[in-house]
Structure 1
Amino acid sequence: MTSILQILLLILDVAWFIMIAHIIMSWLISFQVLNLGQDLVRQIWYGLNRLLEPIYGPIRRILPDMGTLDLAPLVALLAVYAIRIVLMNNAAMFY
């Protein structure tokens, strides 16, 4: 059962990393450090968007419209971290 806990934690860590990469890339694009005219940048950006939209979409529907400020990634990061805390606090159930 310990391996199930470790696999769940690994999945949460990978999700956390992908979300952080998406957030940093969105900042770099909005500050025009990265250009979506470049093929590699555009492919990575659209890949990350397709990967994370099923997570961000329901959160965006719940949150109020903030204009250009998107709080869905922040809420998703907090949710992943909260799930990780719950799993770690209940790790005794996996032994």
Structure 2
Amino acid sequence: MQSLLILITQVIQLYIYVIIASAVLSWLIAFNVVNTQNRFIYTVVDVLYRVTEPVLAPIRRILPDLGGIDISPVVLLLLLFFVQNLIWEVYGSLQTGF
């Protein structure tokens, strides 16, 4: 059982890295540091968008409009950290019998 929980938390951790990479890359594109005309950059941006957008879109619909600020990645990161901690808390309580 512990191996499965470790696998789940590692997948969550990898997804956290993907969300952070997506947010940083979107800032670099917004400030014209990275050129999306480059085919490699375009491919990376497209992959990150396809991986993160299905999860971020529902959060964006729930959050109020804050102008040009998108805090949906922050909300998703907080939720993922919560889920990771919850998994280990429940596992720990199952081990101790409480």
TM-score norm. by structure 2 comes to 0.89
AA aligned to 1:46 is D
Q: Is the 8 A contact 1:5 1:94 kept in 2?
A: no
Residue 6 (structure 2) pairs with residue 6 (structure 1): yes
Q: If you compute each CA radius of gyration, which structure gives the higher value, 1 or 2?
A: 2
Q: Say how many residue pairs are matched.
A: 95
| SS of aligned partner of 1:43 | helix
- Which residue does the alignment assign to 1:15? 15
For residues 71 and 44 of structure 2, the distance between their equivalents in structure 1, rounded to whole angstroms, comes to 21
Task: Give runs of aligned pairs for residues 74-93 of structure 1, distance below 5 A.
Answer: 74-92=74-92, 93=94
Task: Give runs of aligned pairs for residues 1-95 of structure 1, distance below 5 A.
Answer: 1-92=1-92, 93=94
Q: Is the 8 A contact 1:22 1:45 kept in 2?
A: yes
Is the alpha carbon distance of 1:94 and 1:44 closer, same or farther for their aligned partners in structure 2, counting shifts above 3 Å?
A: farther
Greater RCO between the two (CA within 8 Å, min separation 6)? 1
For residues 77 and 56 of structure 1, the distance between their equivalents in structure 2, rounded to whole angstroms, comes to 10
| SS of aligned partner of 2:15 | helix
Q: What is the RMSD of the two structures over their aligned residues, measured on CA atoms?
A: 1.5
What are the Cα deviations for residues 2-55 of structure 1, in whole angstroms up to 9, with x where unaligned?
111101111111111101111111111111111111111111101111111110
AA aligned to 1:48 is L
For residues 4 and 53 of structure 1, the distance between their equivalents in structure 2, rounded to whole angstroms, comes to 26
AA aligned to 2:49 is N
For residues 70 and 95 of structure 2, the distance between their equivalents in structure 1, rounded to whole angstroms, comes to 36
The unaligned stretches of length 5 or more in structure 1 are none
